[in-house]
Amino acid sequence: MGNVLIIDDDQTIRDALARVVTRLGHAPQMAATLSEGLRRAGDKDVDVVFLDVRMPDGNGLDAISDIRRTPSNPEVIVITGWGDPDGAERAMRQGAWDYIEKPPSVKTMTAPLVSAMEHRCRGRDAAKPVSSFHFTGIVGDNAKRAQCLDQAAKAAPSDVNVLLTGPTGAGKELFARAIHDGSPRRDGAFVVVDCAALPAGIVESVLFGSEKGVYTGADRRREGVLLRAHGGTLFLDEVAEMPLSVQKAFLRVLQERRVRPVGGLEEAACDFRLVAATNQDLPEMVRQGMFREDLLFRLQGVSIELPPLAGHPEDILEFADHFVVEAADRLGVAPRVFSEDFSRALLAYPWPGNVRELKNTMDGALALAGGDKVLLPVHLPLHIRVCVARNRVSARAAAATAAPWPMAGGLPLAASLPPFREFRDKGEAEYLRVLTGRFSGDISRMLDVSGLSRSRLYALLKKHGLSATGT
């Protein structure tokens, strides 16, 4: 028997779902608001959550990550009377198990619940835990990154091809190395090929090798990088940059596991595990004829989309602390602590270069700190301090000049009375602008004053496109 939490403001839907859950031998719990649902999910051992989208106190899609982050890490089945393709995609990308539209039938409610419960049971009964997977250099506490780590841990012991996607600097090579280190090929070579840096004109020679005299300057036989990965892992970084003319030949190597050097007659065995990475939209490139569809199908045995740092403030300080400790160990110096102003500056910056930019920034900050035992904003690069200062001033100016609806007695005039949802959302956004402008990144004070939980505060900030520092 499992535990199922139903989060829906419609009593009729809650009762109908509860009957289905009970009939299948599980125990239903019910919540009429998101806040109550999040509290119940955190307090109880929950296997599956049925989650409505349009709730009185927010958008259910914004709560998926918070629900998945609770101790029991339940599966989330989204139910909505306002289904749309964008909402479905957003739900699935945040880790939802399924997305069904109201009014749900017994069949549409039963099928995903049964499959989710079976998945939970298999996970509990699994003989080999994924805790043996090593996440070298990979930290972060958001649900999306945890989902990526879980996918990588499950993929590592097999030989399946893995495609890592996400913005530049999101840590794709770190994930590739972790997958290699957690695989049976860990004692073999980990060969990195940056497809964007392959020399034009001799790409095939670099990949497949070449015989002596096959082109001008080829004074000896050269072994290709694919053969160097034999018995190990080949990491193709920026795979979208691989020339179309080479993609067909590479696809053949993947299929046959044999490679023939340019100008050669004999083939050699070439057995490697493939992990590829890109920050490009490969399906769109396929539609434009810029990437082979059959190669894409080969690459995405398991697809893992890594999240950016933007929108995940809970990760920034954890990564920053990790990188400072790592750099201090490397330099043989004592780690530094962060001042409050330093932490606020890190949280206020959008980090367009993601994890890589943050790592380089922390390396530089430690170097500039010299004998200082505490890291201060002055130890950050000038462009970061300028960006933070500009955003802070802009946010406060916007909050000061924001024009509310015509008011009378604390409420909008009847002639200008907006729909309730619009009024509530505008009030939420205005409250958060004042809150973040007044306390400028001091999360503890913001939580004390607002009475919100940390996860709810971050969810509301994300909903209204704001940051903890008012940017």
pLDDT at 358 over 50: yes
Q: The tokens of 429 are what?
A: 């956004």
pLDDT at 63 over 50: yes
Quick one: average pLDDT of 430-451?
Answer: 76
The fraction of the chain above a pLDDT of 90, given in percent, is 36
- Supply the pLDDT for residue 469: 63
Distance in angstroms (rounded) separating the CA atoms of residues 81 and 100: 9
Place of tokens 């020339």: 243
Angle, to 10 degrees, between the axis of helix 143-155 and the axis of helix 172-181? 40
- Supply the pLDDT for residue 128: 42
3-class state of residue 233 by DSSP: strand
Lowest model confidence (mean pLDDT) among 322-331, 357-366, 432-441: 432-441
- Supply the pLDDT for residue 106: 83
- Supply the pLDDT for residue 176: 94
Lowest model confidence (mean pLDDT) among 65-74, 241-250, 298-307, 423-432: 423-432
- Supply the pLDDT for residue 389: 83
pLDDT at 29 over 90: yes
Which one has a higher pLDDT value, 315 or 236? 236
Lowest model confidence (mean pLDDT) among 9-23, 65-79, 295-309, 416-430: 416-430
pLDDT at 310 over 80: no
- Supply the pLDDT for residue 130: 44
The fraction of the chain above a pLDDT of 70, given in percent, is 86
- Supply the pLDDT for residue 132: 47
- Supply the pLDDT for residue 251: 92
Which one has a higher pLDDT value, 416 or 320? 320
Angle, to 10 degrees, between the axis of helix 454-463 and the axis of helix 420-439? 110
pLDDT at 129 over 50: no
45 Cβ contact partners less than 8 Å away, ≥ 6 residues apart: 3, 71, 72
Quick one: average pLDDT of 447-468?
Answer: 77
pLDDT at 357 over 90: yes
Q: Which long-range contacts does 449-453 make (Cβ < 8 Å, 24+ apart)?
A: 453/38
Q: What is the dihedral of CA 156, 159, 161, 164, to 10 degrees?
A: 10
pLDDT at 360 over 90: yes
CB 338 within 8 A of CB 374: yes
pLDDT at 438 over 90: no
Q: The tokens of 155 are what?
A: 């993929």
Highest mean pLDDT range out of 85-94, 327-336, 432-441? 327-336
Residues 204-226: pLDDT tens digits? 888 888 777 566 555 567 888 89
Distance in angstroms (rounded) separating the CA atoms of residues 305 and 280: 11
Quick one: average pLDDT of 266-281?
Answer: 91
Going by the DSSP 8-state scheme, the letter that residue 33 receives in this structure is S
Residues 403-425: pLDDT tens digits? 455 554 455 555 555 666 676 77
3-class state of residue 232 by DSSP: coil
Quick one: average pLDDT of 287-312?
Answer: 89
Going by pLDDT thresholds of 50, 70 and 90, the confidence category of residue 203 is confident
- Supply the pLDDT for residue 197: 87
pTM: 0.65
- Supply the pLDDT for residue 429: 82
Going by pLDDT thresholds of 50, 70 and 90, the confidence category of residue 303 is very high
Quick one: average pLDDT of 11-34?
Answer: 92
Lowest model confidence (mean pLDDT) among 69-83, 132-146, 201-215: 132-146
Which of 10, 37, 6 is closest to 103 using CA atoms? 10
